[in-house]
Amino acid sequence: MSAFGKIIDAVVPVERNEIVRSGSSRSYGYLRLRLDEPIPVLPGQFAMLKAHGIHEPLLRRAMAFYRQERMGEKLDVEFIYQILGRGTQELAKLAPGDKVDFLGSLGNTYDINFAAGREASHEALLVAGGVGSPAVFMLAEELLKREIPTRLFLGGASHGDLCGLNDFTALLGKERIACATVDGSYGEQGFVTAPLERQLKALAGKPAVIYSCGPDPMLHAVAKLADAYEVPAQLSLEAPMGCGFGVCVGCAVAVKHDCPANSSESFVYKKVCTDGPVFWSKELHW
C-alpha cells in the first residue's frame, strides 16, 4: 500500500471511448475503463495508461482520474484526454472491448481537510484550464459532499476546450462556475485568472483555498495571484513521466527546503508522481 491507496497493474477493458473535436481544432477522448478490483481512487490521483499490445510508444501516459462509478463488484473509472502525440493517438483508436494497460491509483491527493478548516470552512476555489479540469472533478464532488462552499473557474482556448463543462454544471450549478475562453466563444473572453482575481478581491479576507490544475503558464499565474491575495493554493503539476511510480526520477520538480547549515542549496528535486502531483504553491521553487 502506498501512502494514498493501492496500486494495481492490470489489463482492463474499454467500456466507452468517445472522441470529440473542439472548435479550436483540438480533439479530446472520453475514456471509460472497467476495473475488476475496486481500488481506492482519490481526487487528484492519476493512472498510467497505454493501449494494450502496441509496440510504440513504449511508455504509458499519465492521466488524471476524472470520475469513478462503482459497478457491482467492479469499478468504472473515466478519463478525459487531449489527443496530442503518439500515446494519446493510440488511446484514441480504442473501441469498447479493446484493452488498456492500467497502472493506478498513483500520486497524492488534495488536502481537503485544509478547506474543511479547523473551525469554519474555507471557500474552495477550483481553477482549471484545458485538460486540467478532469483532475478537479472528483475534488469538487468531495468538497460538495463535505459541504464546503465551492466555486469553479474554468478556462480554455474555446468553448469545446472546456472539458467536462456539462458534468461540472450538473454538479455545481451554473452560478458557481465562471468560464473564460481565449476566443470568447463561451463565458468571458480572456484567461480564467481574470474571474479568479475578481473573486479573490470579493473575498475581502474571508478564508479561502485554491485548488488548481492546468497548463504551466496558468499555474504560474494562479500562484502569483495566490501570493498577492495571500490565499494558500494547491497546484496539480504535470511533468514528463517515465514510470509514474517513483523509480525513474524523471518527473522532477524543484521544491524549496529549509537548507541545512552546511548546504548552499535552496531547493531539492521532488517527484511529481509520488510526492505530487499536488503541491502547495509556496513549496515550489519556480
Partner 1 sequence: MTNATNSQLEVEIAGVRFNNPVWTASGTCGYGLDMAELIDLNKLGGICTKGLSAKPMRGNAPWRIVETHGGMLNAIGLQNIGARAFVADKLPELRKYDTRIVPNVFGYTIEEYIEAIQILEEGEGIHAYELNISCPNVKAGGESFANDARQAAAVTEAVKKAASRPVIVKMSPNVTDVAAVARAVESAGADALSLINTAVGMAIDINTRRPRLANKTGGLSGPAIKPIAVRCVFQASRAVKIPLVGIGGIATTEDALEFIIAGASAIQVGTANFYDPSASMKIVDGLADYCQRNGLKSINELVGSVVVD
Ligand X SMILES: Cc1cc2nc3c(=O)[nH]c(=O)nc-3n(C[C@H](O)[C@H](O)[C@H](O)COP(=O)(O)OP(=O)(O)OC[C@H]3O[C@@H](n4cnc5c(N)ncnc54)[C@H](O)[C@@H]3O)c2cc1C
Ligand Y SMILES: Cc1cc2nc3c(=O)[nH]c(=O)nc-3n(C[C@H](O)[C@H](O)[C@H](O)COP(=O)(O)O)c2cc1C
Query: What residues make contact with its own copies under the rule CB under 8 A?
Result: 54-57, 86
- 51 counts as binding ligand FES under rule CB under 6 A: no
SS (H, E, C) 58-107: CCCEEEECCEEEEECCEEEEEEEEECCCHHHHHHHCCCCCCEEEEEEEEC
- If binding is defined by CB under 8 A, does position 55 make contact with partner 1? yes
Q: Which residue is nearest to ligand Y (CB)?
A: 248
84 contributes a contact to ligand X by CB under 6 A: yes
Phi and psi of 141, rounded to 5°? -55, -45
Query: Is 246 a residue that touches ligand FES (CB under 6 A)?
Result: yes
Q: Shortest distance, CB of residue 255 to its own copies, whole angstroms?
A: 36
Q: Is 78 in the site for ligand X (CB under 6 A)?
A: no
Among 59, 248, 255, 268, binds ligand Y (CB under 6 A): 248
57 part of the interface to partner 1, by CB under 8 A: yes
Q: Is 46 near ligand X (CB under 6 A)?
A: yes
- Residue number, 93 or 206, with CB nearest to its own copies: 93
Q: Which of 23/57 has CB closer to ligand Y? A: 57
Give the nearest distance from C-beta 241 to partner 1 in angstroms: 8
> Which amino acid is it at 80?
I
Residues at the site binding ligand X, with contacts judged by CB under 6 A: 46, 61-64, 79-82, 84-88, 131, 134-135, 238-241, 272, 277
Residues at the site binding ligand Y, with contacts judged by CB under 6 A: 242, 248, 250
Residues at the site binding partner 1, with contacts judged by CB under 8 A: 1-2, 7, 9, 50, 55-60, 101, 103, 239-243, 245-254, 265, 268-269
